[in-house]
Chain A
Amino acid sequence: MRRLQKGGRIDRSKPLNVSFEGDKLPAFQGDTLASAMLAAGVSLAGRSFKYHRPRGIYSAGVEEPGALVHLREDDRHEPNVRATTAEAFDGLTATAQNAWPSLTFDVGAVNNWFSPFLSAGFYYKTFVGPFKHSTKFWMMCETFIRRAAGMGRAKYLADPDSYEKRNAFCDVLVIGGGAAGLSAALAAGRAGAQVILVEQDFELGGAILSDPAESESDQWLTKVRTELENMDNVRILIRTTAFGAYDGDTYGLIERVCDHVKAPENHQVRQRYWLVHARRAVMATGAIERPLVFGSNDKPGVMLAGSARTYLNRFAVLAGQNVIVTTNNNSAYSVAADLARSGATVTVADLRAQVSACVQQIATDAGATVLVGHGVLEAKGGRKVAAAEVVPVDSSGRATGNGKTLKADLIAVSGGWAPAVHLWSQRFQKPVYKEEGACFVPLQDDGHTLRSAGISNAASDLEDVISQGFALGTQSAGETGADGDIGLCPEAFTTGPFWQQGMSPVWAVFNTNGSPQGKAFVDFQHDVKISDVDQAHLEGYISVEHLKRYTTTGMATDQGKLSNVNALARMAELRRQSIPEVGTTTFRPPFTPVSMGSIVGQEHGRHFRPTRLSPIHQWHQENGALMTEAGAWMRPWYYPQTGEGLQDAYVREAAHVREHVGMIDVSTLGKIAVQGPDAAEFLNRIYVNGWKTLAVGRLRYGAMLREDGFVMDDGATARLGENDYFMSTTTANAAKVLAFAEHLLQTAWKDLKVHVTTVTDQWAAIAVAGPKSRALLTEVTGTDLSRETVPNNHFTHAEIGGVGVRIHRMSYSGELAYEVYIPAGYGRHVWETLYTAGSPFELRPYGTEAMGALRIEKGHIAGPEIEGRTTLRDLGLEGFASSKKPFVGSILCKRPVLEEASRPILVGLEIEGATGAKAGSILFPNVGETKGHGDGWVSSTTYSPALGKNIALGLLKNGKFRAGETIRVVNFVGNETLRAKVVSPHFFDPEGERQNG
């Protein structure tokens, strides 16, 4: 039991039920899983990626590479949770991952013995296998490699929790709630700016929380926090990570609303994704402590020095009784002193040749021993540290003599601190190297809206941290126009040495031969050793990107937060270059991993994309229609009667239309109002056919091309008035056609006085088709719809059920047919009125599948034919194109390949035998090989009730001249070859007597 009787920031009155690997841990409110594990003396927390070496708790924060666990159970199970950031809660269950059969006995650890053979890039040199033109051998090896790799185990269960997205705007976003960030928020808040302050931890304070409780720093924190909490213009978000800085001064935040409880309660979301638009942002993200490299420096019991102090002062856990603190800077002296005062036996091994007496005194006053010019050569022990070999070293970290072995259960290391420049670097560029301080910092540029203050900007001391924060908060607020009285900058409080004051840039300890003793790691999760960096250098993988990718250093779940600088330092040394010459890899979002569900928010399942519904949708559902997706729309596919499948239903529906009358909801068609004195000219340009002669009261079919001369869309347009046209488009292309029309009118054709606007949602539409359609509509409307009054391609106004409607006489099915346009709100009413009135006429609804059958019988083209690569000629529409006027695409449609006589063109196919063809089958001549791209393809197929046979539309090379020829229709993926006779695509009533009747 390593929990101290008093101190810390935990609430001893609130014990929590927390377990790891089934063992109960002594946890309190305010603990993390890691602090509870340490309190219980758990040293083995996980296994590394490659060699499955034992891993303990290395840090107290987001940089944790080793203590990754499975958290929670069943459908709330979450892999790869950092124990160091997981807040303890009542009922927390965690288990180990990446170990089999158990954490203590992991078979994968055998890799450790073979590690010399598993050196950097070994897999590129092996596993190819003996067989030419075969990948089988590698794939067999891969199966085993994949099982050994990975970290946590994910489950195939859907997430029971919900998430939400929130947009927010502010003047100043302050990222980080430590001394610098609090000072910045204070200044900006006092100035009157709208401020959002985010802190990833569950408490504000940052490094202050690692100071002993109730010290002077605490009073500072309380005072500043209280003032901030009382400002209406400051929003404080704790448990919130700013994961990315993006263009347009937007920032992505994840607020972990309910990750600190067992399950979200009261309909709370688990996490909330904030998209913040911030006019200015202050990055006060502090720094991450750097490890030191020595033999077995990955062993459980080796920990960042600052983290050991955090566990002590924040969580009241003394992580070791016999402690070696090894460092290259002053910050570790606070660690040594605090640990010694708490009863540990502490030895400081300082790599520096000289350390000022007053700094040494900090440790010695507390009872620690200080060894100047010493480092740890190797950590000793089995699954955890038992001792440390401490050696005298020179300024490069090389041992100068024999060392001594000191008993130790904790080696606390500090290699200085690396400013957390991630967000700045994501947004702008690679950070710049600051020789003084030996670290990468953001480039200072007042033109940037995201700037850094405090330790993330390598501030020199605490006073500097606070004044930088306060100044940048003031400046940022000022730039947004907030210029209220900011008062005085808070004074600094008393604190020990921190940050990397006095640092000497030496990060690794070598034996007298200049080699690391045993395995010395730079990347703890991916098991990248100094020797791997050396090997990459030998083999020429010397750029930082090559180094990273060849050795995988920095590619683990901490994304190099701990490993990068030490790997770079080593490569710089080998290349005899400076660190800035070697450079860094690119910082990418997110700063720390974010759960995918949080970014998705509510846009999943049904809500993945919006669904568009016709005003008549409900009726279809109530009357048993099966619906089908048509882009964003849902449309009735067919209305099955008892026991009917798709095939029977659509054949029945289509036959019914030809015999009696049917109606179909066509509200999804695109509808565009084209209005203005130049409307006819506009239509003349955008359609291939002529429009100048269309009289009011009439309508006309039109086809339009893309700019490159291929067919884009077709539909009918009615002339409602002198300057008023009503264009319809296919359901699929409505948005595209409108945007295209708007583009032309607002850029190239500005001279045309035309306005186009969508009226798709304003009108419901019903097609009424069949020999009895006129009789039905005449009765319902009481309007004269005779052939003479309303011939085909004319429209009239009428009333149905008291609603004014417009009736277009036009036919897609080839029957006598009408389209009724109804103000959308009355769509269902008119549909039901028609349905009721239609019963003596045997009116039945029909769905899209029957509509397809009817249009194929007529040889009308649809989406499968207008597939973006077909020309007017290919589709048999060349007759529509006017030769008297230019139109969109009229020049480029004449390019030579598009005019080749042998191109596949639209034909009809009568399929031999009882089986229908499948769309997508390939057409071949009746004899010869079925190889290559064939003579064409089948675009649409149906059983034709009118003809009593299976028919199809297809595009066939030289199709015009092949009528009567028998060809093969090959569906390779369905293992089926059929034969078909080439015929005209106009299978049924080619003269159009029915539709014109």
Chain B
Amino acid sequence: MTRYSALSVFRHALSGNRTWGRAWRDPDPKPYYDVVIVGGGGHGLATAYYLAKEHGITNVAIVEKGWLGGGNTGRNTTIVRSNYMMPGNTMFYERSMQLWENLSQDLNYNVMISQRGQYNLCHSPGQMDAARRRGNIMRANGIDAELFDRAEVQRRLPYLDYSEKARFPIHGAIYQSRAGTARHDAVAWGFARGADRHGVDILQRREVTGYLFDGGKIVGVQTNRGDIRAGKVALCVAGHSGHLTQMAGLRLPIETHCLQAFVTEPYKPLVDTVISFGAAHFYVSQSDKGGLVLGGDLDMYNSYAQRGGLPVVEHTLASAKALMPCVSRLKLLRHWAGVMDMSMDGSPFITRTPVEGLYLNGGWNYGGFKATPASGWCFAWTIAKDEPHEDNAEFTLDRFERGYQIDEKGVGPQTNAH
């Protein structure tokens, strides 16, 4: 396989770009794999990559019903950050951040990590206090965080609304300089290429329709194109976790909801960081192509439709204009939606399940993208060693029974409120 570099691009250009090899193979499935990963999104591909790279487990297949990276990996707003406060979350997301920082080098694939910083704006003294608590926890755990007052935010982001007219005045912001964005598709492709290089079989357009059981133990998957036997079956199908665990007889503390994302026409650089509004569920960044990427709140009702409604379009754009009045004459180019595993405490699962042979990675709410490398890394660990790493030790299904809810927002067991 070609190692990518400026030199290889140059060399191939000289031969008219007609000699590039495939980024990953399109193999026929083997009858048996040590691990079958269901779901060829970022998390599944990362899991396969780290299983091979960190644990030497290479007899691995990824079974994907559509095309790899075609789910939430390819439809999110690409933000990466590690500003989590709750024990159980903080260090997991920081592991992810550290993996991001070397991911392009590790994968030999530029996933375009742009550490352009992220501001979480505060609009009341109470929000400033909450932000301070978060920032302090981050700093106490070795994660960068700064708390800015209104004047400093205005100096850095002069284009926000500081006028008398602002309904929710900006009191300040908590800032993480190492946060930023990544190129979402490239993350899937980079992990796919990396996993393939280690011998992992990526089986696209193959949908899992059930499991093979031996007694109570899962020993493989049934697909629309034949059965595949497996030592372990690992689910990485956030958005559809409930559907796939139900086939194994499990009910989860998860509901599936639809989250919309928006992009404007491309403009010359306008916003050079990531800004989260504190008065409504809204955030904005600008892609390298120049489109403003906007994220808003859930559509609020359970949905698998990958299609959002107008009320959230209205809310999101109103938030954009409330925050940045200058966007008014800019134009929305496209809006779409992805389906999320919304868990009952807003935090994920990376865990063995009560069904032997079945492993679950899901419940990512709307925070799955930033978690991709650590999710794969920790899930690989959990699958390989049959026990969690300390960074995902709390991401179990029994935490609700124990009372260990990891509730960053403190809103309780209401999936659409997280």
Per-residue contact bits, chain B 50-61, to A (CB 8 Å; 1 contact, 0 not): 000000000000
The answer to whether B410 and A867 touch across the interface, beta carbons within 8 angstroms, is yes
| Interface flags, B123-139, vs A, CB<8A=1, else 0 | 11110111111111101
Q: How far is the CA of A156 from the CA of B66 in the complex (A)?
A: 42
Partner of B167, one of A250, A538, A593, A609: A609
Binds A, one of B243-251, B317-325, B360-368, B379-387: B317-325
A244 in contact with B310 (CB, 8 Å) = yes
Out of B70, B267, B327, B404, name the residue touching A151 (CB < 8 Å): B267
| A116 close to B (CB within 8 Å) | yes
Cβ of B76 under 8 Å from chain A:
no
Q: A534 contacts which chain B residues (CB < 8 A)? A: 17-18
B17 with A127: CB separation less than 8 A:
no
Q: Does A926 contact B (CB under 8 A)?
A: no
A710-B410 Cα distance, complex, nearest whole Å = 10
Given A125-B4, A710-B412, A535 and B336 touching (CB < 8 A)? no
Which of these binds chain B: A479-487, A834-842, A929-937? A929-937
Binds A, one of B111-119, B207-215, B221-229, B350-358: B111-119
Map CB proximity to A onto B322-355 as digits: 1 under 8 Å, 0 otherwise.
1001111111111110000000000000000000
If the complex has contacts A534-B18, A605-B161, are A157 and B132 also in contact, measured as CB distance less than 8 A?
no
Given A142-B114, A628-B125, A898-B403, A540 and B24 contact (CB-CB distance below 8 Å): yes
Between A and B, 13 residue pairs with Cβ closer than 8 Å are A116-B16, A123-B110, A146-B269, A152-B265, A246-B310, A247-B309, A538-B18, A589-B334, A896-B403, A919-B132, A931-B140, A933-B137, A970-B136
List 7 other contacts, CB 8 Å, given A79-B330, A596-B328.
A152-B265, A247-B307, A535-B20, A588-B335, A605-B163, A918-B132, A920-B132
Q: Is the CB of B136 within 8 A of A921?
A: yes
Q: Which of B23, B87, B166, B266 contacts A557 (CB 8 A)?
A: B266
A132-B102, A974-B132 known; A159+B328 contact, CB < 8 A: yes
- Tell me if A6 counts as interface (CB < 8 A to partner B): no
B318/A600 in contact, CB under 8 A: yes
With contacts A252-B310, A868-B407 known, is A156 near B412, CB below 8 A?
Answer: no
Determine whether the beta carbon of B112 is less than 8 Å from that of A922.
no
Within the assembled complex, what's the spacing in Å between the Cα atoms of A668 and B310? 32
Partner of B13, one of A79, A116, A919: A116
A893 to chain B, nearest CB (A): 8
Instruction: Chain A residues near B132: list those with CB within 8 A.
Output: 918-921, 971, 973-974
Indicate whether A133 reaches chain B with its CB closer than 8 angstroms.
Answer: yes
Shortest C-beta distance, B299 to chain A (Å), equals 10
B322 engages A557 (CB within 8 Å): no
Known: A150-B268, A538-B20, A590-B332. A920 touches B129 (CB 8 A): yes
- CB-nearest residue of chain B relative to A597? B328
Residues of B within 8 A of A244 (CB): 310
- Contact call B401/A895, Cβ cutoff below 8 A: yes
Query: Is A608 in the interface zone, CB < 8 Å from B?
Result: yes
User: Closest CB-CB distance, B268 to chain A, in whole Å?
Assistant: 4
Assess whether B133 is in contact with A937, with CB atoms less than 8 Å apart: yes
Q: Closest CB-CB distance, B159 to chain A, in whole Å?
A: 4
Q: Which residues of B contact A868 (CB under 8 A)?
A: 407, 409-412
Taking the closest CB of chain A, its distance from the CB of B400, in whole angstroms, is 8
CB neighbours (8 Å) of A540 from chain B are 22-26
- State the CA gap A663–B354 with chains docked (Å): 59
**Chain B neighbourhood of A930, CB < 8 A:** 140
Partner-binding segment picked from A29-37, A316-324, A543-551, A799-807: A543-551
Which stretch of B30-38, B185-193, B233-241 is in the interface? B185-193
| A363 → chain B closest CB, angstroms | 38
Which residues from chain A sit less than 8 Å from chain B, CB to CB?
Answer: 49, 76-80, 98, 116-117, 119-120, 122-128, 131-135, 138-139, 142, 145-147, 149-159, 161, 163, 165, 244, 246-248, 250, 252, 275, 426, 531, 534-535, 538-541, 543, 545-546, 549-550, 552, 555, 557, 559, 586, 588-590, 593-597, 599-600, 603-609, 611, 628-630, 706-710, 712, 863-864, 867-869, 892, 895-899, 918-922, 930-934, 937, 970-974
Chain A residues within 8 Å of B67, by CB: 543, 545-546
Contact between B13 and A603 (Cβ–Cβ < 8 Å)? no
Take A150-B267, A922-B137, A931-B140 as given contacts and tell me if A157 and B326 are in contact as well, using a CB distance cutoff of 8 Å: yes
A124 touches B110 (CB 8 A): yes
With A586-B336, A868-B407 already in contact, the answer to whether A897 and B23 are too (CB < 8 A) is no
Q: Which residue of B lies closest to A631 (CB)?
A: B124
B141 touches A933 (CB 8 A): yes
Measured CA separation A239–B16 after assembly (Å)? 46
**Residues 1-45 (chain B) with a chain A CB within 8 angstroms:** 4-6, 8-10, 12-14, 16-18, 20-26
Contact B412 A604 (CB under 8 A): no
| Closest-CB distance, A573 to chain B (whole angstroms) | 16
CB-CB under 8 A for A151 and B329, given A123-B110, A138-B113, A599-B317: no
- Given A549-B74, A549-B185, A869-B407: A973 and B268 within 8 A (CB)? no
Q: Is the CB of B330 within 8 A of A972?
A: no
A864 with B141, Cβ < 8 A, contacts A557-B266, A595-B330, A596-B321 known? no
Query: In the bound complex, do residue A246 and residue B309 qualify as a contact, i.e. CB atoms below 8 Å apart?
Result: yes
The answer to whether A149 and B266 touch across the interface, beta carbons within 8 angstroms, is yes
**Is A122 a contact of B9 with CB atoms below 8 Å?**
yes
| B-chain residues with CB within 8 Å of residue A595 when the two chains form the complex | 328-332
CA gap between A154 and B265 in the complex, in Å: 11
CB contacts (< 8 Å) of A864 on chain B: these are 126, 129
Q: Are A593 and B331 in contact (CB under 8 A)?
A: yes
Contact status of A159 and B410, CB under 8 A, knowing A252-B310, A895-B403, A919-B133: no
**Are A80 and B331 in touch, CB under 8 angstroms?**
yes
Q: How far is the CA of A920 from the CA of B407 in the complex (A)?
A: 17
A157 to chain B, nearest CB (A): 6
**Separation of A973 and B317 alpha carbons in the complex (Å):** 32
Known A-B contacts A151-B267, A157-B326, A557-B333; the reply to A922 vs B136 at CB < 8 A is yes
A773 to B294, CA, bound (A): 53
B329→A78 contact, CB < 8 A: yes
Q: How far is the CA of A581 from the CA of B229 in the complex (A)?
A: 29
Q: B289 contacts the other chain (Cβ, under 8 Å)?
A: yes
- Distance, CA A881 to CA B13, complexed state (A): 75
Please determine whether B322 and A608 come into contact, CB atoms closer than 8 angstroms.
yes
Most buried by A among B136, B146, B264, B307: B136
Our pick among A132, A155, A707, A970 for the contact of B105 (Cβ within 8 Å) is: A132
Partner pick for A535 among B17, B129, B266, CB 8 A cutoff: B17
Chain B residues with Cβ below 8 Å from A918 are 129, 132
Contact of A897 among B90, B174, B314, B402 (CB under 8 A): B402
CB-based contact A125/B309 at 8 Å: no
A588 touches B13 (CB 8 A): no
Q: Which residues of B contact A426 (CB under 8 A)?
A: 307
A98 to B266, CA, bound (A): 11
Q: Which residue of B lies closest to A710 (CB)?
A: B412
Q: Evaluate contact between A125 and B5: CB separation under 8 angstroms.
A: yes
Give chain A residues whose Cβ lies under 8 Å from the Cβ of B115: 135, 139
Q: Is the CB of B318 within 8 A of A588?
A: no
A77 to B327, CA, bound (A): 11
- Nearest CB of A to B218, in Å: 29
B219 contacts chain A at the CB level, 8 A cutoff: no
**Is B63 on the interface with A (CB-CB < 8 A)?**
no
Q: Report Cα–Cα, A898/B399, bound state, in Å.
A: 11
Alpha-carbon separation in the docked complex, A247 to B204 (Å):
31
Let me know if B407 and A154 touch, CB within 8 A: no
| Chain B residues with CB below 8 A from A609, complex form | 167-168, 279-280
* B310 nearest in chain A by CB position: A246
Q: Which residues of B contact A596 (CB under 8 A)?
A: 264, 317, 320-321, 327-332
B163 contact set on A, CB distance < 8 A: 605
Asked whether, in the complex, the Cβ of B335 is within 8 Å of the Cβ of A971, the reply is no
- The verdict on A599 contacting B314 (CB below 8 Å), with A79-B267, A159-B325, A608-B322 known, is yes
Taking CB atoms, residues of chain B closer than 8 Å to A559 are 333-334
Measured CB to CB, the closest approach of chain A to B187, in angstroms, equals: 11
B405 at the interface (CB under 8 A from A): yes
